[in-house]
Amino acid sequence: MRTALYIPGYNHSIHFINIILYIPEFYNYRAFLCPKLRRYKMKISKRKDGRFGTQIRTPDGKYKTIYGKTSKECRQKAYDLVAQLEDGSYVKSDKTLFKTWVESWKDGYLIGVKDSTKRSYTGHLRAHILPEFGEKQIQSIEQSDIQKFCTKLYKEKQLSPKTVRNIHGTLHRCLCDAITAKLIRVNPATGIIMPKKIKPKITPLEESDLHAFYSAANGDPYGPVFSFLILTGMRINELAGLTMDRVNLDNQTMIIDRQLISINPVKFSTPKHDRARTVSLPDSAIKIIKTERANQARFKLLTGDANFNTHGFVFCQNDGSPIGHRSVYEHIKIIAAKIGVPALRVHDLRHTYAVLSLQAGVDIKTVQESLGHHTAAFTLDQYGFVTDGMRSASAEKLDKYVNSYVK
C-alpha cells in the first residue's frame, strides 16, 4: 500500500520514481530504468534459504550467480560485477592452484630478469611461499592471509625485516603478473604492513685490527683476495668475475661491468644496479694482480692444462676454476677467529675500504662511484658516522690553527 503526500510546487512524478529506485520490492523497475542493468537482464529474487540472488551473463556466455544476505547487499555486489564487466577488469572464476601458476610464471613472465634475481625468487618460493600458499587456489588468497604470512616470517621464523620485505616482494611480483594473466582482479599482496626496517650496523675492521688481519691472512690461499677487497671495495661477486681484459695495468684502472653468478657453468651478469664503473687501482693492488698472474702461469705449466683459466680470471683456484663463495667464507672465518673478531664477514672488508677512504680524506662522491652505490646520499647515510668524526677532528684542527694566531 502506498501513501501519497501532496507538496505544492513539487514534481511528484520524480518523487515516485525515487521511491521505486530505493525500495527492494521494486528493484525490477530500477533495472528497467538503468540501461546497463537492463542489458544484463538482472533480476533479484529471494531464495528459500532466505538469501537474495541474481544472475548476470558474463562475456564467456555463462551466467554468474551472486548472493547476498539482503536485497541491498546482493544489489551492490551486482553493481560491482557490472562495473567490472564494463571496464574490462572482470576475471572469471578459476580453480588454478597457486603452485601451478608459479610454474607458468617462472617459465614465461621473467623475461629480462637477471639470473641472480631469478635465483632469489626461486629461493623465496621454495623455502617460504609455496609451503604456505602452494595448495591454495590463487583466487582464494586474500590480503589477510598474506598479512598473517609476513607476520609469521618475522615473529615466528625470526627473519630480518629486510628478508621479510624481499620475500613479500617476490610474492607481490608473482601476483601482479597473475593480474596480467587475468587470473585475479586485484593483488592481495598490496597494502601489507611490513616490519619496521632496521638499519644494519656497519662493522668495518678497526685500525687496531688491520695489522693483525694482514698478519693472519699472510700465507692463506685467499690472503690476496682479502687484501684486494680492502684495497678496492669490490663486492665478492664482482671480484670473482674480474678478468684480465677488464684491467689496465698501464693506467692502473679496472672496469667493473659484470659479476660472476655461477661457477659451473660459468655465468656472468651485470653488477648491482646495472651500473658499470671504472676504479683506480693503488700500487698495492697492481702488485697483487701481477703476483697472481705469475702464480697462474706457474700452475698452468705444472698442470700442463692448455685450458687452464680460459676465462682469464684475475683470481682463480689452483686448477684454473673460479673462486667460490663457500671457500672464501670458510677462510675468512679462520682468519677472523685468529684475530679475535669472529663476527667478521667478507662484506665487512668492503665497509673497511669505505671507512679508510673517508678517513684518508677521499670525497664522498668518489667513494660512492668506487663502491658502485646508486647515489652519494646512500653512501653518506651508510658511513655518516665516519664523516661525523671527521667534522669533529676538522673543528679541532681549525681551533688550533686560529688559536695559533691569537696572542
pTM of the predicted model as reported, rounded to 2 decimal places: 0.69
- Name, in order, each residue with C-beta under 8 angstroms of 135's C-beta and a sequence gap of 6 or more: 97, 98, 99
The residue ranges of DSSP E strands in 180-302, in sequence order, are 247-248, 253-256, 259-262, 267-269, 277-280
Residue 18 pLDDT: 42
Instruction: Provide the b/e sequence for 11-35 (b: ≥16 CB within 10 Å).
Output: eeeeeeeeeeeeeeeebeebbeeee
Q: How many helices (H) and strands (E) does the chain have?
A: 18, 8
- The answer to whether 98-180 and 207-344 have equal CATH topology is no
CA dist 221 and 335 (Å) reads 11
The residue ranges of DSSP E strands in 21-73, in sequence order, are 45-46, 52-57, 63-68
Is there a contact between 195 and 164 (Cβ–Cβ < 8 Å)?
A: yes
Residue 15 pLDDT: 42
Cell of 376: 652519494
Cell of 347: 662484506
CA dist 21 and 69 (Å) reads 19
Residue 90 pLDDT: 76
CA dist 252 and 232 (Å) reads 12
Please tell me the CATH superfamily of domain 98-180, with its number: Tyrosine recombinase, N-terminal domain (1.10.150.130)
Question: Each residue's pLDDT tens digit in the chain (407 positions)?
Answer: 444 444 455 444 444 434 334 444 444 444 444 555 556 566 788 888 999 988 888 777 788 888 899 988 988 888 888 887 777 777 788 899 999 999 999 999 998 888 888 999 999 999 999 999 999 999 999 999 999 999 999 999 999 999 999 999 999 999 999 999 989 989 999 999 999 987 778 889 988 889 999 999 998 999 999 999 999 999 999 999 999 999 999 999 999 999 999 888 999 999 988 889 999 999 999 999 999 999 999 999 888 888 899 999 999 998 899 998 889 999 999 999 999 999 999 999 999 999 999 888 899 999 999 999 989 898 888 887 775 666 666 556 555 655 665 54
CA dist 246 and 244 (Å) reads 5
How is 236-253 classified by DSSP, letter by letter? HHHHHT-BGGGEETTTTE
CA dist 22 and 45 (Å) reads 16
Question: 302-311: long-range contacts (C-beta < 8 A, 24 or more apart)?
Answer: 311/243, 311/266
Is there a contact between 370 and 279 (Cβ–Cβ < 8 Å)?
A: yes
Task: Give the fold, CATH level 3, of 207-344.
Answer: hpI Integrase; Chain A (1.10.443)
CA dist 43 and 59 (Å) reads 18
CA dist 370 and 276 (Å) reads 10
First vs last C-alpha separation in the chain: 107
Domain ranges of the chain: 12-87, 98-180, 207-344
The CA angle 394-400-404, to the nearest 5 degrees, is 145
CA dist 370 and 362 (Å) reads 11
Residue 176 pLDDT: 95
Element (H, E) at 396: helix 384-403
Cβ atoms within 10 Å, residue 312: 14
